[in-house]
Amino acid sequence: MDIFKRLLTLARPHAVKFFIAMLCMLVVGATTSALAFLVKPALDEIFLKQNAEMLKWIPLAVIVIYLLKGGCNYAQTVLMNFIGQRVVADLREKLYRTIQTQSLSFFTKNPTGVLMSRITNDVGYVQGAVSEAVTALLKDSSTLVCLVFVIFYRDWQLAIIAMLVFPIAIYPIAKFGQKMRQIARRTQVTVGSLTTLLQETISGTRIVKAFSMEEYENRRFAGENERLFRLNLKAVSINAISSPLMEFLGGLGISAIIFYGGYQVIHGHSTPGTFFSFLTALIMLYEPVKRLTNVNNTIQQGIAGAERVFAIIDLVPEIRNLPDAAPLPRISREIALRDVTFRYEEAPVLRNINLTIRAGEVVAFVGMSGGGKTTLVNLIPRFYDVSEGAIRIDDRDIRTVTVESLRGQIAMVTQQTILFNDTVRNNIAYGDIERTEAEIVAAAKAANAHEFIMRLPEGYDTLIGEQGTKLSGGERQRISIARALLKDAPILILDEATSSLDSEAEIEVQDALENLMKGRTTLVIAHRLSTIRNADRIVVLVNGEIREEGTHDSLLACQGEYCRLHHMQFKDNGRDGEEKTEN
């Protein structure tokens, strides 16, 4: 119940609304029991004694009671749903903010579909626990107490007989609740898997079709869908059996009460009005008891969802500011990697990296796939923290400065261009959407993007689709370059920015990249060696270690790893082939 208490603490800012709703629920309970209470005078005074005065007042009292009950029921429903929806909205936002603070390693461990399921599906279960369950607990409990008072007031002996049924019902209700929580957890895991599968297959539909794997993916989806169907069916079965069980137990109690109460009336120990008032209150008890039984199932589902939500909210980000972190001044001297080792799990990806990059220098990183090039450049903006050693900018350890000021000095252009389903303008200004029109256009022109943007249906206001699907690869990359130009960061990271483009698009993008690199400290990861021939320095990484370092010509002269990589790319045409590739 600690999780449930934690959910209730989220409602503290709405204590006044909660108090008013609680008063309304108490009134609903009192008016419900008042209707049962009026059965005795209505039956005894009107129908048996034929009291004309009571014929005037009792119907009027019933009207007033129903008006009061309806008004309070409406008020508590609106107030409790406001609190429930507000708590859930705040929880969803808190969850999203927590996810945004996590390092890249968090996202490698948690698939996108699972995280989406946490934000949508799991939080939905929490909503039921906060609004519906709390309402039922308060309203139905107050109704239950008031009706129990009526039945004991009318006939305490009959009330004791009726109460004997309730202890019998406690055990199966508790067992159903435990089972429901287990099913809820499994259901939420399955929904996460299903969402992940959807996200992967829809975003990767071209590959699915290219390899004719539609039927395979259909079978995978059908398997997860069937698993979810069976879990939902189990949950329905548990909910469905709760009501019949309560009805049967209630029927046992009512049959005993009719026998005993009828015996009392026949022998003159009670009146018909007393008995039917008691019976009415007892029958009215069935609905709140049944709802309270189902509320337990709802609470268990909500707790299962909340456990998964709080498991993420409680995570401490791996990358965070130290208490005394200070802003990083604009780079003026160098980036220095000192004895840097990095591990994803146990095995090191980078080992004992020592490298100094001077301000304004262009340094290229080359090597076979898996050599650690991307990992190395990802350490500089602190997407990950080093396992050993340190990275220093102008002799300041980047772990001692604020993450915001560090990343504010770095712009990135990657092979996988990330654009958003927004306008061209907002994609270029991403990071500072308050930039002026003139600044955005200037950046687009420098990135050789202005002309094709103006040919779009609505120019800079054109929506580019999910991941920029309405644009070609070269156009997407130039928008990405314009975004980096507008940021005007002193450090630039280019991660195979042209490797996925055709020759024509590469020429346009390469020209835009040259504009972007002017006057910046640039780190380039390159697959095509022809694109980094003019770099100030080339660093060759092999199995996470720096194997060679130098200029293009000096590395070729060494006849080492770089020379081997160069010959692999240009072995068919030799030196002339390289020149042709560059031109």
Q: Exposure string (b/e) for 102-130, b if CB count within 10 Å is 16 or more?
A: bbeebeeebbebbbbbbbebbbbbbbbbb
Distance CA 371, CA 542 (A): 5
Cβ atoms within 10 A of the Cβ of 200, count? 17
Structure tokens at 400: 């001692």
Q: Which residue has the tokens 């006044």?
A: 16
Distance CA 413, CA 497 (A): 6
Residue 316, classified by CB atoms within 10 Å of its CB into exposed (0-12), middle (13-18) or buried (19+), is exposed
Which residues sit opposite 540 in a β-bridge?
A: 366, 548
- The candidate with the shortest Cα–Cα distance to 410, out of 319, 324, 506, 483, is 483
- Helices 15-37 and 134-154: angle between axes, nearest 10 degrees: 30
CB 339 within 8 A of CB 358: no
**Pairing, β 521-525 against β 362-366:** parallel
Is the C-alpha dihedral spanning 205, 206, 208, 212 positive or negative? Answer: positive
Tell me, yes or no, if the pTM score tops 0.75.
Answer: no
Output the DSSP codes for 370-390: TSSHHHHHHHTTTSS--SEEE
Distance CA 554, CA 341 (A): 27
pLDDT of residue 156: 79
Cβ atoms within 10 A of the Cβ of 86, count? 17
Beta strands in 402-520, from DSSP E residues, in sequence order? 410-414, 491-495
Q: Which residue has the tokens 């989220």?
A: 10
Distance CA 125, CA 105 (A): 28
Q: How many residues does the chain have?
A: 583
Write phi, then psi, for 194 (nearest 5 degrees).
Answer: -65, -40
Quick one: which H or E segment has residue 539?
A: strand 537-542
Q: Coil, helix or strand for 11?
A: coil
Quote the radius of gyration of the chain (alpha carbons, Å).
35
Distance CA 64, CA 112 (A): 55
Best CATH choice for the domain 2-313 from the list 1.20.1560.10, 1.10.340.30, 1.10.1040.10, 1.20.120.10: 1.20.1560.10
- The candidate with the shortest Cα–Cα distance to 415, out of 509, 290, 350, is 509
Structure tokens at 225: 């869908």
Quick one: which H or E segment has residue 392?
A: strand 388-393
Task: Return all residues near 542 (Cβ < 8 A) that are at least 6 apart.
Answer: 367, 368, 371, 561
CA distances from 320 to 101, 327, 383, 400, 408 (A): 8, 13, 11, 10, 15
pLDDT of residue 357: 94
Which residues sit opposite 365 in a β-bridge?
A: 525, 539
Domain ranges of the chain: 2-313
Measured CA angle at 498 (ends 492, 503), to 5 deg: 145
CA distances from 234 to 28, 197, 212, 228, 284 (A): 34, 23, 35, 10, 29
Give CA 494 to chain center in angstroms. 30
Distance CA 117, CA 189 (A): 9
Write phi, then psi, for 269 (nearest 5 degrees).
Answer: -85, -5
Distance CA 37, CA 517 (A): 85
Q: Coil, helix or strand for 365?
A: strand
Could you write out the three-class secondary structure of 306-352?
HHHHHHHHCCCCCCCCCCCCECCCCCCCEEEEEEEEEECCCCEEEEE
Quick one: which H or E segment has residue 88?
A: helix 52-101
pLDDT of residue 172: 66
Tell me, what DSSP letter sits at residue 423? Answer: B
If phi > 0 it is left, if psi is from -120 to 50 it is alpha, else beta; for residue 467 that is left
Per-residue pLDDT of the chain (583 residues; tens, 9 = 90+): 577 777 777 778 888 988 999 899 889 888 888 888 888 888 777 777 777 788 888 889 888 998 998 999 899 888 888 888 888 888 888 888 888 888 888 887 888 778 888 888 788 778 777 777 777 777 888 888 888 888 888 877 777 777 766 556 556 665 666 677 678 778 877 887 787 777 777 766 656 766 677 788 888 888 888 888 888 888 888 777 766 776 676 666 667 677 777 777 777 777 777 777 777 777 777 778 767 766 777 777 788 888 888 888 888 888 889 999 999 999 999 999 999 999 887 788 999 999 999 999 999 999 888 888 889 999 999 988 999 999 999 999 999 999 999 998 998 888 777 888 788 998 898 877 788 999 999 989 888 889 899 999 999 999 888 777 788 888 888 888 888 888 888 999 988 766 656 566 667 777 777 878 888 899 998 877 777 888 899 999 998 999 999 999 898 888 888 888 888 877 644 444 444 333 2
Distance CA 469, CA 421 (A): 9
CB 328 within 8 A of CB 523: no
Task: Return all residues near 46 (Cβ < 8 A) that are at least 6 apart.
Answer: 54, 55, 58
- Helices 52-101 and 15-37: angle between axes, nearest 10 degrees: 150
Residue 1, classified by CB atoms within 10 Å of its CB into exposed (0-12), middle (13-18) or buried (19+), is exposed
Extract long-range pairs of 201-205: CB within 8 Å, 24+ residues apart: 203/467
Alpha helices (H) along 102-204: 104-109, 112-117, 123-127, 134-154, 156-163, 165-203
CB 320 within 8 A of CB 101: yes
Q: Amino acid letter at 253?
A: G
